[in-house]
Every structure is written in C-alpha cells, then in structure tokens.
Amino acid sequence: MKSHNLDKDTRAELFDVLLENSFIGITITDEKGEIVVVNEAQSRITNIPIVESIGANMESYVESNYISQSASMQVIQDKKRVVINQKLSAGKSHVVEGIPVMDDADHIKYTVNFLLDESELEEAKQEIETVSSDKEKLFNKYQELLEILNEQEDIIYQSKVMRDIVYLASRVADRDVAVLITGPSGSGKELIANLLHEKSRRKTRPFVKINCSAIPEQLLESELFGYEPGAFTGGAPKGKAGLLEYADGGSILLDEIGEMPMQLQAKLLRVLQDQQVRRIGSTKDIKVDVRIIASTNADLKKLIAEKKFREDLYYRINIVDIKMPGLDKRREDIPLLIAHFEKRFNQKYNFNKKFSIDAINYLMGLDYCGNVRELQNIVERLIVQSSNDVITLEEAFAAMGILTIEEDGEGRRELIKVEEEMSLKKIMEQYERKILLHYKKVYGKGTVMAEKLKTDQATISRKLKKYGL
C-alpha cells in the first residue's frame, strides 16, 4: 500500500479523524469475530449502542437473527475481501464490505468492515467527495492506518487521551532522549516504557527494569553500578557488572525514581551526562550506551522543594514528559479493557465466561483508585468466583461489597457500598449522594432538581458542592 509521503503520525491522526467523523459505519473484529472497535456511525445505523457492541461476537448476531449474514465471519472463513447485502431484523438493508488484515504467517489478525445505509447513499456520495473522490482509496487508507493500531495491541485503548499518549511515545521512541513517565499507580506506565523500547533502534538489545523503591540503598547501588572484587563483604569473588552495563546498547526503566537515594541520584546524573559508569570499589570509568526511561507516581517538583530529589537530575530525565491518566480520565476504555481481561482469564482458567451489559455498565461507573490494575483484579475475581457463564450485575455487586436495597414490588434498587465498620451516617451520605447524582443526570438544573425533590435550590446547591457533584 502506498501513501503520498505521509509519516506514521500523520496517518494515525487521519485515522482518528476518519473513524470519528465518517458517515460510514466501521467495525473492526479480531480473528474470532469479536468486535474490538466500532464508530458512532455504525452505532447510529444499526441502533446498537457502542458499549453493547464492544466484545460482542458477530456470529451471535447472525444466530439471533439480528443480522442476515456477517461480512467479518465470511472474511475469516474465505480470507479475502467480501461485499454482502446485509438485512437487519428491523427490516433495514445495508451494503457491507469486509476486508482482512493478515499477519506475517498469512493468518487473519483483524477484519475491517465498512457499512453503508442504502437510505443514506445519496447523502453519502456527496460527503465522500470531501474526503476522497475514489471510494477504493478511502477503504485502502483505513486499512493502511489500521496497521498503526495493530502495532499497539498490547496497550488497550480507544480514548483520545490514550491515543495522544501512544502517538507521542511512538514519535519519540527512536529519538534516543530520556523520557519521564508520570501517573498514578496501576495506570500503565510500564506498558508505555515497553512501547518506547520496542519502537526504538534498541529493540534487539536488553531492556532492563528495576524498582528503586523495592531495593535497599546499598543493594540498589551495587545492582545499578556493579562492584569490583572485594568491594564489600558478601559480594561475588569476581565482582559483578551492574544493570547499567548489562543494558549497554539497550534501555533501562528506573521505576519509582522518586524513591532513589540522593547519593545515587548524583551517580545517575553522571551516567546521563557522560554515558559512563564506575563500579563500587573501582577507579575506572566504563563507557555505556544506554537509554534512560524513568517512571514515578510521585510529585517530583514537590520532592525537589523538600530537598529529596535533585533538580538537575529532574531536568535531565524529563526531556520528554508523558503523563498517564487515571482510569477515571479514560472511562471509554473500560469496556475494551474488560473484554481484554475477560479473554485473558478465560484462557488462563479454561473458562468461557462473559460479562453482562449491566455488569459492564456498572463497572464503567466505579472509581478505581488502583486504576487499570484494580480493574484487572476485579475482572479476574469475577471470572474465578462466578458460578454462571454470564457474569451478572448481582455478582458484580457482591464482588464490590455492595448492599442492594429493594424499594418495592417492582424491583427498583438503590445501591450502597458498605465498608467494614461503616457508620450509619456514612451509609446515609452515600445514599444521599447517589440520589443527587441520579437527579442531576436526569434533570440537570438545580431548580428542577429542587422541585422534584421538594426542597429549595439553596439546599440542592449546598449538597451538590458537599459531594463534589
């Protein structure tokens, strides 16, 4: 496939624009027909919400007679491009083109499917002219840009904030500059570090990772810089090369660099400045070629103000600063992450369990202090503990310690998370917050909320402020 001198970053940006703004319905499935990407146009045309589409299998839509046939399943079977006329149970008819994306072994890796609503073809013809005068070129552009998505399959995302981060990391990966990755615990800092190494010219050389907070100071120094024979009691008789030497030609990830002792910070600064290390007990400098990647969940500027981190080192490691968001800033990625972890743990434990839409919607609304790592833990726990093939909302409640209160015979429920030894006041505050949040989502304005809840607007405003709503 050819393009007119477009680099990968430009092609990736075009992919985002086309995906988000196209009138064409776009669905991408994996090699088994499970949906991994779907755009707004597809959701609008088929009347299936995006959250219900992600993780669904196209074959199940055929079996349930929602669609007459599936282009993606035909592509998987025939390993070639197909064009079909697809009918929905509601009576609508669509033209669907399915395109295979193959791996190096000529196996199906993804299918890309484009859906045109016949009732919108005239309008579509006009709009397509503003993007491309040739429909075939447009389809090829989608497929070409999809290659960028394939390269990042270890990082699960569809949110704009994560796309921006992945594109930034991809741009600087081969520029051999120091990178500082900041963000809360469990947000995926190590995955970005992996991407930086794998997309660099150093990818065939070692990638060494060390957690600066998990090793005592003296041992950390010997691990990083190595030592000469007899440098200290208990060392190897022949001495030992440090991890910085071992990473020569490659990369090293210094995780939790904010926990590195000040003495070692000075030695690390010299490595960054001169690309030289000196083993403990030696007077000889050893030349190394190593790319430094650092990560932390700490506020390094605050540590600098407290004289716990060197300012000169901060500016040396912070040539490129990649800020990882918490999961609350990328909630649209949660269904994809659930599907990813669901697949992983089904394989690990030899299950074939699925999350119900209600359970997924509930998990999307939770606050994750542990971010992606916490979500992974919850999914694994539910996969293991569930006695059903479909993980229900009630099982998700139970896993999170949720108290379910039945209001009336119609089965309406209010949900409160009850912690151990939680006071009645705290439980009531949770209940009140949930009510206010619901009414705010439904009615929006404080005046309407006050009217519906039969109170005054000042009370509503005060309580919204109290609960951060």
Element (H, E) at 263: helix 262-274
82 phi, psi to nearest 5 deg: -135, 155
d(CA 173, CA 387): 45
Selection from 151, 120, 124, 147 nearest residue 14 by Cα? 147
Give the CA-trace dihedral at 235, 241, 244, 245, to 10 degrees: 170
73 phi, psi to nearest 5 deg: -70, -35
d(CA 259, CA 303): 10
* pLDDT-flagged residues of the chain (< 50): 1-2, 132, 135, 138-139, 141-152, 403-414
Give span(s): CATH 1.10.8.60, the chain. Answer: 329-464
pLDDT at 360: 87
d(CA 186, CA 374): 7
Residue 350: left (phi > 0), alpha (psi -120 to 50), or beta?
A: left
DSSP code of 67? B
pLDDT at 50: 83
pLDDT at 142: 42
Burial class (CB in 10 A: 0-12, 13-18, 19+), 441: exposed
Give the CA-trace dihedral at 148, 152, 153, 155, to 10 degrees: -140
Contacts of residue 451, Cβ cutoff 8 Å, sequence gap at least 6: none
Q: In terms of DSSP bridges, do strands 320-323 and 291-296 run parallel, antiparallel, or are they unpaired?
A: unpaired
Contacts of residue 83, Cβ cutoff 8 Å, sequence gap at least 6: 71, 95, 96, 97, 98
CATH of the domain spanning 8-151 = 3.30.450.20
DSSP code of 196? H
Give span(s): CATH 3.30.450.20, the chain. Answer: 8-151
d(CA 117, CA 54): 21
Contacts of residue 267, Cβ cutoff 8 Å, sequence gap at least 6: 221, 224, 225, 277, 278
Give the DSSP per-residue string, 19-49: HHH-SSEEEEEETTSBEEEE-HHHHHHHT--
pLDDT at 145: 41
Check: CB of residue 245 under 8 Å from CB of residue 277.
Answer: yes
Can you name the CATH fold of 329-464? Helicase, Ruva Protein; domain 3 (1.10.8)
Give span(s): CATH 3.40.50.300, the chain. Answer: 162-323
d(CA 295, CA 195): 14
Can you name the CATH fold of 162-323? Rossmann fold (3.40.50)
Model confidence pTM above 0.75: no
